[in-house]
Amino acid sequence: MEFEFTIPLGDWIESGFGWLESTFQAVFDFVSFAAESIYTGLEWILLTPPFWAILLALVAIGWLVKNWKFAIGTGVGLLLVYGVNMWDPMMETLALVMLASSLAILMSVPLGILAAKSEVASVIFRPILDFLQTMPVFVYLLPAVAFFSVGVVPGIFATIVFAVAPGVRFTELAIRGVDKEVVEAGQAFGSSPWRILRQIQIPLGAPTIMAGINQVIMLSLSMVVIAGLVGAGGLGREVSLALGRVDTALGMEAGISVVILAIYLDRLTATLGKSSTPASTA
């Protein structure tokens, strides 16, 4: 006689999600309404003006932040996106990335500071962050759909959960990596812990924190594309349609548009990270 031993872990987790959904439905409804309203506002800002106005604004930002070569490359890339009829989906994706990455950054930086200041918090956060970074990305869509149904909001929720981990890790690393002698000098002059954090640790750790923010934005972009499978819209929707139809042309056009947007956001945040070094801000 065979002895079978099965742990119904999946059933327990599903029951837990069901309890959360039924208990905090009002909270989920409010979060869904707020997130969708903000997203709609960002989408309106990006899609209402003529495309050339937004294009010139993005080119100008690239010029101011980096240089004229980057600005020209940005203009060429965005014209290509417009030429393959991917402008509106790219703006929708940009709105999703702006909202999801902003919320992820607002969560991750304070949590990273807390982890740097408290060994207990660091020990607690570490396995949670390991779990978030190793879980297959498609799994995040399951609780997102369970809590918020299909559409934009589950895509935002899944993106935040997926992208928050590097922001916490890099911020903790940045604060812990500040020279202890500099911190001790601030303490010797009678500075409070808050003042030391604000005037010493954060400025000196800014390049590493910005590197974490860069990773948050890149992960957000990759996740909102995958979130097109649950109706998040944007370029993710175009990729999902291409997969469903086995449409190579549509898939390549959407994929190239994602690459252009990723390069633009990556170069911007990387340049901002370099300009935030003490030597460059002195």
pLDDT recorded at residue 18:
82
Per-residue pLDDT reduced to its tens digit, 112-131: 999 998 899 999 999 999 98
Q: CA separation (Å) from 169 to 113, 191, 216? A: 10, 26, 11
Q: How far apart are CA 90 and CA 132, in angstroms?
A: 27
Q: Which amino acid is at 175?
A: I
Per-residue pLDDT reduced to its tens digit, 40-84: 999 999 999 999 999 999 999 999 988 888 899 999 999 999 999
Residue 194's pLDDT band, with cuts at 50, 70 and 90, is confident
As a whole number, the mean pLDDT across the chain is 86
Helix (H), strand (E), coil (C) string for 30-48: HHHHHHHHHHHHHHHHHHC
| pTM attached to this predicted model | 0.85
- Chain center to CA of 129: 15
Q: Which of 17-21, 52-56, 241-245 has the highest average model confidence (pLDDT)?
A: 52-56
Q: Quick one: what percent of the chain has pLDDT higher than 90?
A: 38
Q: Are 97 and 224 in contact (CB under 8 A)?
A: yes
Residue 159's pLDDT band, with cuts at 50, 70 and 90, is confident
Q: Of 63, 233, 230, 23, whose CA–CA distance to 142 is shortest?
A: 230
Region 77-101: what's the mean pLDDT? 92
Residue 206 has pLDDT above 60, yes or no: yes
Per-residue pLDDT reduced to its tens digit, 253-262: 988 999 999 9
Task: Give the other-Cβ count within 10 Å of 88's Cβ.
Answer: 17
Positive/negative CA dihedral, 282, 106, 171, 268 = negative
Structural domains in the chain, CATH included, are 23-281 (1.10.3720.10)
Q: Of 225, 257, 256, whose CA–CA distance to 241 is shortest?
A: 225
Q: CA separation (Å) from 168 to 125, 130, 163, 208? A: 9, 11, 10, 11
As a residue count, the chain comes to: 282
Q: Of 279, 268, 270, 18, whose CA–CA distance to 142 is shortest?
A: 18
Q: Of 78, 75, 79, 87, whose CA–CA distance to 47 is shortest?
A: 87
